[in-house]
Chain A
Amino acid sequence: MASTETQGILVVGGGMTGITAALEAAEAGYDTYIVEKNPYLGGRVAQLHHYFPKLCPPLCGLEINFRRVRQNPRVRFFTMAEVENISGEEGNFDVTIRLNPRYVNEKCTACGKCAEACNIEIENPFNYGMNQMKAAYLPHDMAYPPRYVLDASLVESDEAQKVKEACPYDAIDLEMAPKTMNLKVGAIVYATGWKPYDASKLEAYGFEQYPDVITNVMMERMASFSGPTQGKILRPSNNEAPKHVAFVQCAGSRDENHLPYCSGVCCLASMKQATYVRDQYPDAKITIFFIDIRATDRLENFYLNVKKDENIEFFKGKVAQINPDEAGEGLILKVEDTTKESLHEIPADLVVLATGMQPNTLDNPVPAQVAYDDYGFISTLDVTPGIYGAGCSRVPTNVSECVQDGTAAALKAIQSIARR
């Protein structure tokens, strides 16, 4: 009864977990489809400067994965795409996918002529809005697929025609409209990942109020050459080098009023970011305010190495409040002192909030009957027959465990097809 067209596996989310799930299944001989809402594959890890604990660039592993995607005809992917509807059952799902307009077709060679002709600028979402970019853009230097995108604001503007004409390859299609397509698959892996917790909800920390209070994901972009500052870590208020950087751990995490759980990566991420600062500014002082340092298994070794740095202080205590100092130049962190009923006051000129992860399924739930835990994460790997939750859509965790999870989900998906 099995028709070949339902032998495929749909992977929703083209981040590290989803790419892994798709590739592992494809290399075992199964047809896979990746549906990714961004115009590029790679998800959050593409935005990271380094991985902990090896301090190596995520783009290195992504390059291998992109090559695997390129060379494997069994992997097909759709960017700027979202799953709208899922019906049917294990072994025989009908999926409706919405394809949002890129306004650029497959004729694009990434030559960059459209961006040259474009004068309209928009906020750069890849850099968390920290800088402006052309409204005709390649999402980032290593973007895969290497294809430009036109922002809707450009398409609606007077400039649109000029930009279209600048393309020598007829790759711009201003008439492109959203469309839907249907796909029949045997199994679905849901790996739509996470979003950083909204730091503006942490009122006592003054995010968006004080420019020198940033979040950990912004720090990654700042440290990256393709980021808003060409890799220089600078105080947003004055573009000067920071002298004292404070990392506020559990910013909203392990907190009943915000995220009651631990995101599992922020301790290591802050320590890693401390190495970015130390590499650029040998004299800078760093304070990491923490509740517990959660460096499990071999990551402990990374913690030990960071602790050896005399310029990095680990301060046990929860930051209660962040205020500007009297001169209005720097910031003062008020930190609880558990031994006395008082607060320490510690100055810093750049504060990095270690905000946690929230599952993207909160905003875009799986359009099918799926159980979630109290925090909106998909509750288990085999949550519904034929639908598998993987990576940070199920557990807030690090890249290595996401790869582990994506690989396991690939096998579960294969079983759904084998069972037919």
Chain B
Amino acid sequence: MEKKTAVYICSGCGIGDVLDIDQLSKVATDENSVPICQNHSNLCSEEGVALIKKDIADEGVNTLVIAACSPRVMYDVFNYENCIVDRVNLREQVAWCQKPGEEDTQMMAEDYLRMGLAKVRGMTLPEPFKPEQEYSKDILVVGGGLTGLTSALEAAKAGYKVVLVEKEMELGGFQRKVKQIAAAPYKDLQDNTIDELVRAVNEHDKITVYTGATVERTEGGPGIFDVSIKQNGSSSEHHIGAIVMAAGWQPYDPTKLDAAFGFGASPNVITNSMFEEHFSDAKITRPSDGNDVKNVAFLQCAGQRDPKHLPYCSSTCCITALKQAIRIKTQDPDVNAYIIYKDLRTPGQAEDLYRKAQEVGVTFIRCQSPEVKTNGSLTVEAEDELLGETVLIDNLDLVVLATGMVPVTSIGEDVYAKAQMEESKGEKDKDELAVPPDVIRRSNILNLDYRQGPELPALHDDFPDSHFICFPYESRRTGVYAAGCVRRPMGIGNCKEDGAGAAMKAIQCVELTSQGAAVHPRAGDLSYPEFAMQRCTQCKRCTVECPFGAINEDDKANPLPQPTRCRRCGVCMGACPERIISFKNYSVPIIGDMLKAIEVPEEDEEKPRILVFACENDAYPALDMAGLNRMQYNAWVRVIPLRCLGSMNLVWIADAMSKGIDGVLLLACQHGDDYQCHFIRGSELSNIRLSKVSETLDRLALESERVRFENISIIDYNKLPALLDEFAKSLEEIGANPFKGW
């Protein structure tokens, strides 16, 4: 496409009061020889937009620089099909935050226009990725328990073909062993309906079921997964679009419990899951001799909320204990049933079941550390916090321990723990270790043929990592959605919703992928990274650092990008020391040209320049909010938004420094365990990269204080002016960059 560029400058919303628009136009017309540059006092109005559309239609304009408000507003107004558009933010980030009529303000606006022009010069229109294979819209569901069954059925009901793989010989998972369930409306116990669900799945013509089967290997990526399923010693191949991983949980091993719980010391001490299994279809009796149960105690949090065992709460055990106690009381109202708990957790309407248990006469004892005594009669000793005294419950026929749920992703050896040991033996380049590896265990669920490991990476307690508050389904592997108790411990109502939700995400993934578009968070983005392989040095940085494991490797360590796995964050682009990775509309040269377009005044003009790389989701909106609130900040800053700070390539800092820019500030989001980065690791990786920038600065004989990393969240806008001023002041103290004017 031959570009015909036009610049449109809006003077509305105070821009014209602050800036000399004619002077600004000269940056386009005189300096950059842009053929069309128009001004309008209200560019977003019908009249203003008509002006632009007319140029597109009559003049063949296809490359537009709109110098007006923030790209975060008026998106649809300034979006034109088949045109390259860049928005220069003269309103929020110049007119609303700088002093009117000042030379510094004008210089800032002019630089931003230069940067916008440099950007569109480098941009081309993205073309959707087309793989060699055909796209599949079929969905693989791994796990045939309640969640997986629901997921399969719900996806099939929406019209999609489903392949369901269950490792046991029968579908139904743990729920198959459960007689009665506790679920909304929680007024009483309900009969389990898992058999109906199993039947519906088995009978559905869009669902292919494999039982007694495992996923042997998963190759490819969303839309083009090739999955081999092993059953009875033979393999079947399926071409799959997306995956729901509902592999479920296992009960915590009761033999590991503290002796105080008495497990193993008496056959009459069992766990909550053993209770379901033993008494699935039978009367509840004393395990040792089959006699009637007259006294029963439920001990909650057995090996849970305990850093030595499971640090988390399994969420369902209080409700399960209520259910089991009600069941016994229904069987024989004369039974003495005690629930000994730390905190009774029945959120939402489940409180009704707690009330029901109280009505039927279950006794509740709040106690932090009960003790089971098995010499003589089975006894529980409990310090009752509410009465302030120790109670002894003796002659117990049954003690039920509430052991928790362990996700099956926690089973198996940690891939990286081993790899790291081997690495240190081989005395490899040490700085590669600075990028902390993920926890990925060989748990034999998906067996992904991914360079970074065969399963979903975990963060806390071996549950698969996700952006779990706002976007709980977004795992670290594109097109693979964890659901049910493998994602976090949850009750049956939530499992069903989770199964349906994950099916929704899988459907969405196959639809977007088949158009060559990205999924969350850049849903619909058609750009994808392209690799100029002839310049690759096989350094592996891109394959190691991609937060989504999108890049495989061949035997010679050449990267093998898998674009359908890609989330388009640009972390690989930032990682590459040879700068061979580019998007059509976002690349190392594009950003490099933007920063080189900044005019750096001579030292004696005493106008330092500060380059700010801002995360476009958090820091950039925060800068806009500072403007909206008319907060004034330093006039020396020049902001470049990045898709993610993880896409920051160190060469930009070298470029900025050799150009005479005095300081570089990286505004990134929170990283660490409570990371806020929507690309998981971008902020962390940029910080790690920055720790290596001192080499570059040393080589240029520059002070490392010239480059700074700050965590800024989207609501920190009130802190920005002081932060920018303070950085500017510290640069003044260091003195001007000696490279000015070179």
Q: Do A and B bind each other?
A: yes
Is B157 a contact partner of A298 (Cβ separation < 8 A)? no
Contact with B along A29-69 (1 / 0, CB 8 A): 10000000000000000000101011111111101110110
Is A225 a contact partner of B718 (Cβ separation < 8 A)? yes
User: Which one of A53, A67, A296 lies within 8 Å of B313 (CB-CB)?
Assistant: A296
User: Which one of B154, B523, B524 lies within 8 Å of A411 (CB-CB)?
Assistant: B154
Candidate in B350, B461, B523, B618 with the most chain A CB atoms within 10 angstroms: B523
Is A407 a contact partner of B469 (Cβ separation < 8 A)? no
A297 CA to B489 CA, complexed, in Å: 6
A316 CA to B618 CA, complexed, in Å: 40
Is A64 a contact partner of B617 (Cβ separation < 8 A)? yes
Given A141-B628, A415-B157, CB of A401 within 8 Å of CB of B315 = no
Given A72-B523, A142-B621, A377-B349, CB of A168 within 8 Å of CB of B469 = no
A231 CA to B629 CA, complexed, in Å: 15
Is A28 a contact partner of B504 (Cβ separation < 8 A)? yes
A49 CA to B352 CA, complexed, in Å: 31
Verify if A82 is at the interface (C-beta below 8 Å from B): no
Nearest Cβ distance between residue A65 and chain B, in whole angstroms? 8
A107 CA to B49 CA, complexed, in Å: 12
User: Interface residue count for A (Cβ, 8 Å)?
Assistant: 85
A-chain residues with CB within 8 Å of residue B494 when the two chains form the complex: 401, 404
B-chain residues with CB within 8 Å of residue A61 when the two chains form the complex: 467, 469-471
Candidate in A54, A375, A400, A404 with the most chain B CB atoms within 10 angstroms: A404
User: From A304, which residue of chain B is reached at the shortest CB distance?
Assistant: B311
Is B460 a contact partner of A261 (Cβ separation < 8 A)? no
Nearest Cβ distance between residue B483 and chain A, in whole angstroms? 9
B-chain residues with CB within 8 Å of residue A370 when the two chains form the complex: none
Is A264 a contact partner of B469 (Cβ separation < 8 A)? no
A107 CA to B348 CA, complexed, in Å: 44
Is A399 a contact partner of B497 (Cβ separation < 8 A)? no
Is B498 a contact partner of A408 (Cβ separation < 8 A)? yes
Verify if B511 is at the interface (C-beta below 8 Å from A): yes
A418 CA to B159 CA, complexed, in Å: 7
Given A28-B511, A141-B628, A339-B387, CB of A262 within 8 Å of CB of B348 = yes
A60 CA to B314 CA, complexed, in Å: 29
Given A71-B75, A72-B523, CB of A338 within 8 Å of CB of B386 = yes
Contact with B along A396-420 (1 / 0, CB 8 A): 1101110111011011101100110
Verify if A380 is at the interface (C-beta below 8 Å from B): yes
Given A71-B75, A110-B73, A141-B628, CB of A296 within 8 Å of CB of B345 = yes
Verify if B463 is at the interface (C-beta below 8 Å from A): yes
Q: Give B350-406 interface residues, CB cut-off 8 Å to A.
A: 350-352, 355, 366, 385-388
User: From A259, which residue of chain B is reached at the shortest CB distance?
Assistant: B351
Is B618 a contact partner of A60 (Cβ separation < 8 A)? yes
A-chain residues with CB within 8 Å of residue B366 when the two chains form the complex: 316
Is B314 a contact partner of A297 (Cβ separation < 8 A)? yes
Q: Give B1-20 interface residues, CB cut-off 8 Å to A.
A: 12-14
Contact with B along A11-35 (1 / 0, CB 8 A): 0000010000000110111000000
Nearest Cβ distance between residue B471 and chain A, in whole angstroms? 7
Nearest Cβ distance between residue B159 and chain A, in whole angstroms? 5
Contact with B along A61-89 (1 / 0, CB 8 A): 10111011011110000000000000000
Verify if B674 is at the interface (C-beta below 8 Å from A): yes
Contact with B along A367-390 (1 / 0, CB 8 A): 000000111010111000000000
B-chain residues with CB within 8 Å of residue A254 when the two chains form the complex: 351
User: Which one of B73, B488, B498, B713 lies within 8 Å of A56 (CB-CB)?
Assistant: B713
Verify if A285 is at the interface (C-beta below 8 Å from B): no
A325 CA to B470 CA, complexed, in Å: 43
Is B469 a contact partner of A260 (Cβ separation < 8 A)? no
A-chain residues with CB within 8 Å of residue B490 when the two chains form the complex: 297
User: Which one of B73, B184, B349, B674 lies within 8 Å of A55 (CB-CB)?
Assistant: B674
A-chain residues with CB within 8 Å of residue B681 when the two chains form the complex: none
A-chain residues with CB within 8 Å of residue B417 when the two chains form the complex: none
User: Which one of B159, B504, B511, B715 lies within 8 Å of A408 (CB-CB)?
Assistant: B504
A125 CA to B470 CA, complexed, in Å: 25
User: Which one of B157, B311, B714 lies within 8 Å of A300 (CB-CB)?
Assistant: B311
Is A300 a contact partner of B313 (Cβ separation < 8 A)? yes
A418 CA to B156 CA, complexed, in Å: 10
A146 CA to B13 CA, complexed, in Å: 14
Is A57 a contact partner of B713 (Cβ separation < 8 A)? yes
Q: Choose the segment among A207-215, A287-295, A342-350 that binds chain B (4+ C-beta atoms closer than 8 Å).
A: A287-295
Interface residues on B, range: 35 or more
Is B343 a contact partner of A293 (Cβ separation < 8 A)? yes
Verify if A109 is at the interface (C-beta below 8 Å from B): yes
Q: Give A237-273 interface residues, CB cut-off 8 Å to B.
A: 254, 260-264
Is A224 a contact partner of B715 (Cβ separation < 8 A)? yes
Is A298 a contact partner of B508 (Cβ separation < 8 A)? no
A-chain residues with CB within 8 Å of residue B14 when the two chains form the complex: 111
Q: Give B502-539 interface residues, CB cut-off 8 Å to A.
A: 502-505, 507-508, 511-512, 519-521, 523-524
A293 CA to B470 CA, complexed, in Å: 23
Is A408 a contact partner of B676 (Cβ separation < 8 A)? no
Verify if B609 is at the interface (C-beta below 8 Å from A): no
Candidate in A56, A67, A403 with the most chain B CB atoms within 10 angstroms: A56
Is A168 a contact partner of B12 (Cβ separation < 8 A)? yes
A-chain residues with CB within 8 Å of residue B497 when the two chains form the complex: 381, 404-405, 408
Is A146 a contact partner of B73 (Cβ separation < 8 A)? yes
Verify if A281 is at the interface (C-beta below 8 Å from B): no
Verify if A169 is at the interface (C-beta below 8 Å from B): yes
User: Which one of A27, A141, A407 lies within 8 Å of B625 (CB-CB)?
Assistant: A141
Contact with A along B23-46 (1 / 0, CB 8 A): 000000000000000000010110
Is A301 a contact partner of B347 (Cβ separation < 8 A)? no
Is A373 a contact partner of B501 (Cβ separation < 8 A)? no
A418 CA to B44 CA, complexed, in Å: 39
A383 CA to B587 CA, complexed, in Å: 50
Given A24-B504, A168-B42, A407-B473, CB of A54 within 8 Å of CB of B76 = no
Given A301-B312, A412-B500, CB of A63 within 8 Å of CB of B621 = yes
User: Which one of B345, B463, B521 lies within 8 Å of A292 (CB-CB)?
Assistant: B345
User: Which one of A27, A224, A301, A408 lies within 8 Å of B512 (CB-CB)?
Assistant: A27
Verify if B717 is at the interface (C-beta below 8 Å from A): yes
Verify if B64 is at the interface (C-beta below 8 Å from A): no
Verify if B585 is at the interface (C-beta below 8 Å from A): no
Is A262 a contact partner of B674 (Cβ separation < 8 A)? no
User: Which one of B347, B349, B460, B676 lies within 8 Å of A298 (CB-CB)?
Assistant: B460
A-chain residues with CB within 8 Å of residue B503 when the two chains form the complex: 411
A-chain residues with CB within 8 Å of residue B169 when the two chains form the complex: none
Given A59-B714, A72-B524, CB of A264 within 8 Å of CB of B472 = no
Is A261 a contact partner of B351 (Cβ separation < 8 A)? yes
A91 CA to B498 CA, complexed, in Å: 24
A-chain residues with CB within 8 Å of residue B470 when the two chains form the complex: 16, 58, 60-61, 64-65, 399-400, 403
Nearest Cβ distance between residue B83 and chain A, in whole angstroms? 15
A267 CA to B74 CA, complexed, in Å: 40
Is A63 a contact partner of B617 (Cβ separation < 8 A)? yes
Is B69 a contact partner of A109 (Cβ separation < 8 A)? yes
Verify if A155 is at the interface (C-beta below 8 Å from B): no
Is A297 a contact partner of B157 (Cβ separation < 8 A)? no
Nearest Cβ distance between residue A270 and chain B, in whole angstroms? 14
Given A339-B387, A396-B348, A397-B348, CB of A28 within 8 Å of CB of B460 = no
A51 CA to B469 CA, complexed, in Å: 8
User: From A51, which residue of chain B is reached at the shortest CB distance?
Assistant: B469
User: Which one of B44, B314, B498, B511 lies within 8 Å of A404 (CB-CB)?
Assistant: B498
A-B residue pairs in contact (CB < 8 Å), sample of 12: A29-B511, A71-B75, A71-B524, A141-B629, A262-B350, A292-B344, A293-B343, A296-B489, A381-B497, A395-B348, A405-B501, A418-B157
Interface residues of A (CB under 8 A from B): 16, 24-25, 27-29, 49, 51, 53-61, 63-65, 67-68, 70-73, 107, 109-111, 141-142, 146, 168-169, 224-226, 230-231, 254, 260-264, 292-301, 304, 316, 338-339, 373-375, 377, 379-381, 395-397, 399-401, 403-405, 407-408, 410-412, 414-415, 418-419
Closest 6 CB pairs of A and B: A61-B470, A339-B388, A264-B347, A407-B501, A408-B500, A411-B504
